[in-house]
Amino acid sequence: MTDAVQVQEYDWSGYRGVLIYVEQREGRAKPVSWQLLGQGRRLADKLHTHLMAVVIGGQIEHLAKDAVAYGADRVYICEAPELRDYRTRPYSRLMMQLIEEVKPEIVLFGATATGRDLAGAIATHLPTGLTADTTELDVEPDPSRLLLASRPAFSEKMMATILCKQYRPQMATARAGVFEALPRDNQRSGEVLRLESRMGEDDIAAKVLDFVRDQTSVNLEEAEVIVAGGRGLGGPDAFRLLEELAEAMGGVVGASRAAVDAGWIGHEHQVGQTGYTVRPKLYFAIGISGAVQHTVGMSNAELIIAINKDKEAPIFQFAHYGIVGDLFQIVPALTEEVKRR
Ligand code: FAD
């Protein structure tokens, strides 16, 4: 794949280290940040270099300790009341300032709404590229030290590996749930440095007055239990059965694309290649056949339980436990049993 790679003529030797943007909201880091630190650690070790993290926000000092516990060697903190809410301009200015000062060879962001916005804004100002929405990240060792950023392409039919041969830093956003965070290690030690902002008044001109939470939204990426349903449910009403089971288990409801396309449930519930990639502790696949476009989004779940009336359904190849039978009988019985315990 990379036989054709040539060592570039530019001297990027001053650029070293992997930098992870730790995304937070109200002082809580998004899990994708720790997943990226895990992958960043693997890349940094392969390149024999250091792993850095950056946290920007209002009251975020505690996150520096977390970033070290999840693998960072050095954490840059930029804390100020006016940085409490994410806005493109001040955050991207700070990131560019940091990149200029620290010269990382690789910078990674979660492919969240914020991560996509921020990485895109930075890439338009730096003479470098950005690979969006990656699902695989690897590196070539010396001398090229190239980031091999892979993502689905051509209507998700093939994987493309995108290289940034000419410039540094090499930047990518990565999907949540794809990479594994390292186990938290509170004994790890790391350096914490303050990033002094060089922002002017103009950079923080836009003010956030209020956040209105969408009460109907579902957070699949952070859910520990997902009860997902597919075409086998036969219509929107059967999702009520799944909601009851999810409620009893403290989880949320997911869906296959077939169920979403049929209009039985909103797209924010969709798991898979064109939906969310999830990594819950427990995933129920109910009336879902197990098409590859679905399983790429959920096969990293710790425990998968499939319920399907077809014993040959491909989902059983991924499931740790399988129940062959009619979901309309099994799900209510399961909910009853969970409630009873
Ligand atoms: P089906 O494949 O129709 O399976 C329904 C299952 O329900 C069957 O296995 C059946 O045995 C079972 N069943 C029926 N009745 C019962 C019952 N009473 N009790 C128990 N079991 C029952 N799909 C996704 O999910 N997510 C994606 O992000 C996604 N992205 C895609 C992107 C592209 C480019 C393409 C081409 C496809 C994508 N798909 C995606 C669609 C995917 O290929 C499948 O079509 C889809 O996942 C099938 O959904 P399903 O399993 O619910 O339906």
Q: Is the pLDDT of residue 248 over 60?
A: yes
pLDDT at 209: 86
**Token couple for 109:** 């962001």
Q: What pLDDT is attached to residue 2?
A: 46
Cα distances (angstroms) measured from residue 109 to each of 147, 180, 232, 243:
14, 15, 37, 33
Phi, psi (deg, nearest 5) at residue 268: -65, -10
Report the C-alpha gap between 27 and 109 in whole angstroms.
Answer: 17
Whether 269 and 310 have beta carbons less than 8 Å apart is answered as no
pLDDT (average), residues 25-52: 96
Instruction: Report the percentage of the chain scoring pLDDT > 70.
Output: 96
CB atoms within 10 A of CB 36: 33
| pLDDT tens track for 56-72 | 999 999 999 999 999 99
Residue owning the nearest CA to atom 16 of ligand 1: 232
The neighbouring-strand residues paired with 287 are: none
Where does the chain have alpha helices with state H? 31-46, 62-69, 88-102, 113-125, 239-249, 257-261, 292-295, 327-340
**What span, in angstroms and rounded, lies between the C-alpha atoms of 52 and 76?**
8
Residue of 291, 328, 295, 293 whose CA lies nearest to 309? 328
Q: Measure the CA dihedral 29/30/31/37, to 10°.
A: -70
Neighbouring residues of 152: CB distance < 8 A, sequence distance ≥ 6:
135, 158, 159, 160, 273
Q: Which tens digits make up the pLDDT trace of 107-159?
A: 999 999 999 999 999 999 998 999 999 999 999 999 999 999 999 888 777 89
Residue 133's CB is within 10 A of a number of other CB atoms, namely 15
**62 a known binding residue?**
no
Ligand 1 centroid – CA 231 distance (Å): 6
Question: Structure tokens of 142?
Answer: 């010396």
Mean pLDDT of 211-222: 80
End-to-end CA distance of the chain: 53
**Please, which pLDDT band fits residue 9 given cuts at 50, 70 and 90?**
low
Predicted TM-score (pTM) of this structure: 0.80
Alpha carbon dihedral 38, 116, 296, 37, in 10-degree steps, equals 0
Question: Which ligand 1 atom sits closest to the C-alpha of 275?
Answer: 28
Q: How far is CA 216 from CA 62, 160, 252, in A?
A: 30, 35, 12
Ligand 1-lining residues (CB < 6 angstroms): 155-156, 230-232, 256-259, 270, 272-275, 287-289, 291, 293-294, 297, 307-310, 313, 326-328
Phi/psi-derived region of residue 181, left when phi > 0, alpha when psi is between -120 and 50, beta in every other case: beta
Radius of gyration, CA atoms only, the chain: 22
Q: Are 287 and 150 in contact (CB under 8 A)?
A: no
257 annotated to bind ligand: yes
